[in-house]
A = this chain, B = another copy of it.
Amino acid sequence: MCELMAMSANVPTDICFSFSGLMQRGGNTGPHKDGWGITFYEGKGCRSFKDPLPSAHSPIAQLVTDYPIKSETVICHIRQANSGNVSLVNTHPFIRPMWGKNWTYAHNGQLADFQSRLATKYHLPIGETDSEHAFCWILDQLLQRFDGDEPNSEDLFHYVIGLCKQINELGVFNLLLTDGDFLLVYCTNNLHWLTRRAPFGKASLIDAEMVVNFDQETTENDIVTVVATQPLTDDETWHKMQKGEGLLFCKGQLIYQSS
């Protein structure tokens, strides 16, 4: 399995605190040592840092920890390989263009019969993972359903959640998907989330000796949602997602929810 993390915020916010905890699970406090990747959005542009090395020992992960990149949407993945070997081509997140935007995707889980059950025509996988294959299948379905007419976020949300439920029949499918504006989350078994807003307080990482006082880092209008496979802090209240539940966040706020 793997671990997922994402952020949606209404102001450009750095993810250094949360990433400091998560990266330790990549070969130190956790077994997810088969590479990692993180994608930051700045408007419609995005940039990724990826490494097939364990995040706990990666100079690139150290840079991401130390260098506060301000972003409104972030998706992060640390990998414990099960489908596809350990290599850069199989390292999440995966990014593809759609409707004049960068779409970014990361998956935790394992899918059976994905090559026959999720046949793709227009979006061809580059690596060997079930994860990238399912991403290409989702984009193929979106293209065939909506063609060049990008749907509104509500229609998009309900259509993608329907696709997630089909994929879920093939195995565990915990999903993070974003176009930089929305953050869509689908849960089979392991996903948690929380929204930080005023009044802000302190938070303490589980995986590293680090405490942050968000009151000193934020303004009273900031709204920041963090999603993670397992809670990253031990003194905040995380919502555990239910099996089959879907959420859509935009600018840090929960917009749509389905069960």
Chain A residues with CB under 8 Å of chain B are 42-52, 59-60, 63, 66-67, 87-91, 95-97, 99-102, 123-127
Per the bound structure, the CA–CA distance linking A44 and B125 in Å amounts to 11
Is there an interface contact between A49 and B49, defined as CB atoms closer than 8 Å?
Answer: yes
Is there an interface contact between B124 and A88, defined as CB atoms closer than 8 Å?
Answer: no
Per the bound structure, the CA–CA distance linking A124 and B102 in Å amounts to 11
Q: B45, B60, B67, B125: which contacts A89 (Cβ < 8 A)?
A: B45
Q: Which B residue's beta carbon lies closest to that of A136?
A: B97
Chain B residue numbers with a CB within 8 Å of A50 are: 47
Question: How many whole Å from A75's CB to the nearest CB in chain B?
Answer: 15
Per the bound structure, the CA–CA distance linking A48 and B59 in Å amounts to 15
Q: How many monomers of this protein are in the complex?
A: 2
Is there an interface contact between B126 and A88, defined as CB atoms closer than 8 Å?
Answer: no
Chain B residue numbers with a CB within 8 Å of A47 are: 48-51, 88, 91
Is there an interface contact between B63 and A127, defined as CB atoms closer than 8 Å?
Answer: no
Is there an interface contact between B45 and A90, defined as CB atoms closer than 8 Å?
Answer: yes
Question: How many whole Å from A23's CB to the nearest CB in chain B?
Answer: 15
The 8 listed contacts between A and B (C-beta, < 8 Å) are A43-B89, A44-B127, A47-B49, A47-B51, A59-B66, A59-B67, A97-B126, A100-B125
Question: How many whole Å from A34's CB to the nearest CB in chain B?
Answer: 13
With A63-B60, A67-B59 in contact, is A45–B123 under 8 Å at CB?
no
Choose among A47, A59, A102 the residue with the greatest number of B CB atoms under 10 Å from its CB. Answer: A47
Choose among A60, A66, A96 the residue with the greatest number of B CB atoms under 10 Å from its CB. Answer: A60
Chain B residue numbers with a CB within 8 Å of A96 are: 97
